[in-house]
Every structure is written in C-alpha cells, then in structure tokens.
Amino acid sequence: MVQDVSAPDSSPKAVAGSFRDPKGRVYVKNGRIFRTVMPVAVADYEFVRGTGLLDKLAAEGHLVGGSEVAASELGLEAAEAAYVLEHDRIPFISFPYEWSFPTLKAAALLHLDIQRRALEVDVSLSDASAYNIQFKGPRPVFIDALSFKRYEDGEFWTGHHQFCEQFLNPLLLRSILGVAHNAWYRGNQEGIATEDLARIIPFRKKFSWNVLSQVVLQSKLQSSVKGAGRKTVAKTVAKKQLPKAAYQGMLERLRSWIAQLEPADTGPTVWGDYAQQNSYEGEEAAAKRKFIHDFTEQTKPRQLWDIGCNTGDYSSAALDGGAMRVIGFDYDQAALERAFARAVSEKLDFLPLFLDAANQSPSQGWAGTERMGLAERRSADALVSLAFVHHMAIGRNIPLDHLVDWLTGFAPTGVIEFVPKQDPMVQELLGLREDIFPDYTEEAFVACIEKNARIVRRETVTKSRRTLFLYDSTR
C-alpha cells in the first residue's frame, strides 16, 4: 500500500499498510515512494516484467508508474531486497469505505480487467484487495506491482473469495438491498462476508444464477466444510486444477454482471440528470461560482478539499479557476454518485468521497495504524466548504468554534459559507426542534475564524444573508 505523508522525511519509513505480503514492502523517503522486491519474489517479478504487461498497464494509466532504481536511493532498508522500485505518488489515498457505489464499481471492473489482460500473457494476481486500488480523479489505478505473479497451469483464482468480500458483496448490498456499503465496510475492513450477505438477501432475490452461485452456493460450500472434515476437504480440493478457460469464464461472467449493477434505491436515472437539474443557475449559485473561481485563480492550489461537495458544482468551479485537483466529501450517496458521473464525463481531476463529518474515518486496522484516518491524511492546500456549517452546527449540534477549528485545520486558506438562522434552510432544520443555538450568529462565526486566521474577503450572496468568507492563516 502506498500511503501519503505530508511532511517529507529523510529517513525511510515503512508504510504501515504494506506488511501483509512478504514479497516486498513500501517505504516513504523524502516524500518519494519506494517498494522493495524481496528475493522470494524475484522469479515472479522478472517473469512478469518480461511480459511487458506492467509497462503497458502503466502507460495506459491503469497501473501506478514505477521504475527500478539503485538500492542506495532507499538506503539500508534495501539491504536484503533484490530490486528497489520507485513509484509515482498517488495524490490522495482513499479507502473503499470512503467510496461511493460507482467508485467501488469502477475499482471492481479495473481489477477484473487487469486480471483478464494478465491471464492472456500467463500472469495472474495473487490477491484481490480493494486497498490495492487508488484513484486519480475518478480514474481507478492499480498500485501493487507485486500482486502480479506467473500463472501456473491449473491454478485457482486465489483472490476470488477476497474479491467477493471486498468488491462484489458491498456492491450487491446496495444493488439488491439499497443499503450503502460504507458503514459496514469501515467496521469490517475486509469487506462484507459472503455468509453474512447470504443471510440477509431476500428469498425472492436468490434465484438469479449469479446471486445463487456467487453468494448462496459459495456461502453454503464454505459452511459445509467447517468442522472435523475441514482438513480432508481442503487437502482434496487443493490437489485439483482449475482449467484456464474456466478461470477466464468466471472473470468474464463477473465482469458483465458487475458492469450492469446499479443502486437499488436511486437507480440509473440519477446518473444522467445532474446536468439538467443544475442547468438553471440562480444568482446565488453564479455568485458563489465566481467567488470560488476567483479564489483558486489567485491561490492556484495543488489539492483543494471541498467539504460538503454535493454534486460537485463548486469543485468544478475551483478546477476552472486553477485548482490542480479537488477531493470532495459528502454524506449524500445520490449526490456523490452524480458528482462521480460528472467527474467522469467532464474528465475532471475530482474525486468525490463519502464522509460523515461528525464521524470521520479513524486510523484503524492492525495496531490502529494500517489505514490512516482522515486527519492523518490531510494534504490540502486550500479548502472550500459551502452550505455545510449549518448542517453540522444545527443538524448535528457541533459547537460553532469546534466546527470552524476543524474546517480551518484542513488547509491554510479557504472559503467557508455561513448560513444565518433566518435562512429558509436553517429554519427547516429548526422546524421540529427547539432552538438551543443562541450563539449561532454571524458575529460568533467571524470571531471563531479570526481566532485562527485573517478574513481576506467576504461576500453576501442572498437576501437571507448567506455569506462567503475567504480566510487565510498563512499571513
């Protein structure tokens, strides 16, 4: 796993998420990403390299770029390594529990496509970890060069079980039951167990051949070998061979099935209609777009975070203005799906991710460090957060000063919108509850910002006095 670190460091650090596979490890040194290839992996690595597959996939943008470098580039950590590779940096590391449905689906399809391409040149993948896929904008990129190995005649698809848990089952959860995978996936980082999914799929949904075989039957087979006979069964199965045609057939079948999966609760219509929904642009939206455009034109951020990105209107304005890339965050699955569709169709360097701002991704996994939390992955040099503060302050009872500290902590400069109490949206939030927010005022909000930063510019964009504030904590 390649993970991002914000501060360059001259001594190499092993990346916490890269310990599972003995074939090599990933290190960060001076902000550069290195991967060791250990002697145990040399034969496979050299074979795969010889097929030209890695170069081809990298040239097409499906595999993270990398080249062999002198061991001295890495230092002592390379002592036992046969090769040292240096990889291109992934701008922002995200995890499958932060992906929306179409994002996870794009990752699943990339995994299958790489497998199919690999088998053509007698190469296979040793695992099917969703954490081996990262995103550049909305484009999935495979990042683990050491997952590739020489295909042995008759070998099984070793990663099949893992593929189901980490890609297929979370997608089915949404497409069959209309439940988003994120919370469950974050709780169980290996994805969704086939046995668990089999238990909750309604009876009437079990009769498609795909569901029947991949979920129901697989789960039955797995539980059928528990207990005393397990060893004998495992031994017997391990002696068998899977014909290559069968391996390929299974990949094909899964690919065509996954390609047509859609969320059960929103459906495919959501995907296409964002443009129509957003085709009329009121004065308010136009003023906001211009404000964001001017802001990024001036600051030219390399990475901008859009907290509460919705369908990506202002992320796209930020990119227009001159932001190099935008990582967006939102809670609304339908909005995220539209945002992802927009990023794909308009070829934007924009990755919209799921975030419950009141419960952000923690550092977790083995020893609590394997997958970095959102705070540990802070890498933005600019922030945009529009129509967000009131949802957290009024909707989730987060004190205004905590909220402003949290937001301004993501980037040294940014634009935050304050939506005052008299705004219809806030009135709606207060509709069914007592107003326990006497301190929710523009003055208090300004004071909170000025504790950490300077207000460089402000503009009121509606009659209800929604106001954008540009803060800067660097000067």
Partner 1 sequence: MTHNSCTQKILAGSVFTVIFSATPFPAYAYLDPGTGSMMLQLLIGGIAGALVVIKLYWYKLKGFMTGKRSSAASTLTKKKTPPEGKG
Contact residues: partner 1, CB under 8 A = 20-23, 126-127, 152, 154-162, 164, 194, 209, 213-214, 217-225, 229-230, 233-234, 236-243, 246-247, 249-250
3-state secondary structure of 246: helix
Q: What is the DSSP string of 332-396?
A: -HHHHHHHHHHHHHTT-SEEEEE--GGGPPPSBSGGGTSB--TGGG---SEEEE-S-HHIIIIIS
Give the torsion sign (CA, 313, 314, 315, 320).
positive
As measured in angstroms, the least distance from the Cβ of 144 to partner 1 is: 12
Give the torsion sign (CA, 373, 375, 376, 378).
positive
As measured in angstroms, the least distance from the Cβ of 212 to partner 1 is: 10
Q: Which is nearer to partner 1, 229 or 268 (CB)?
A: 229
As measured in angstroms, the least distance from the Cβ of 44 to partner 1 is: 12
As measured in angstroms, the least distance from the Cβ of 4 to partner 1 is: 25
As measured in angstroms, the least distance from the Cβ of 256 to partner 1 is: 15
Q: Which is nearer to partner 1, 249 or 368 (CB)?
A: 249
Q: Which is nearer to partner 1, 167 or 329 (CB)?
A: 167
As measured in angstroms, the least distance from the Cβ of 80 to partner 1 is: 18
Burial 123-134 (b: 16+ CB within 10 A, else e): bbbbbbbbbbbb
Q: Which is nearer to partner 1, 155 or 472 (CB)?
A: 155
Contact 8, 31 (CB under 8 A): yes
Q: Which is nearer to partner 1, 220 or 302 (CB)?
A: 220
Contacts of 353 (CB under 8 A, 6+ apart): 94, 98, 99, 100, 103, 327, 328, 329, 330, 336
Q: What is the DSSP string of 35-61?
A: EEE-GGGHHHHHHHHHHTHHHHHHHTT
Contact 32, 143 (CB under 8 A): no
As measured in angstroms, the least distance from the Cβ of 93 to partner 1 is: 22
Q: Which is nearer to partner 1, 155 or 294 (CB)?
A: 155
As measured in angstroms, the least distance from the Cβ of 64 to partner 1 is: 21
As measured in angstroms, the least distance from the Cβ of 146 to partner 1 is: 10
Contact 193, 283 (CB under 8 A): no
Q: Which is nearer to partner 1, 14 or 221 (CB)?
A: 221
Cα–Cα dist 384/405, whole Å: 14
Give the torsion sign (CA, 84, 89, 90, 95).
positive
Continuous segment of H or E residues that includes residue 471: strand 467-472
Cα–Cα dist 361/351, whole Å: 16
Q: Which is nearer to partner 1, 76 or 246 (CB)?
A: 246
Q: Which is nearer to partner 1, 222 or 298 (CB)?
A: 222
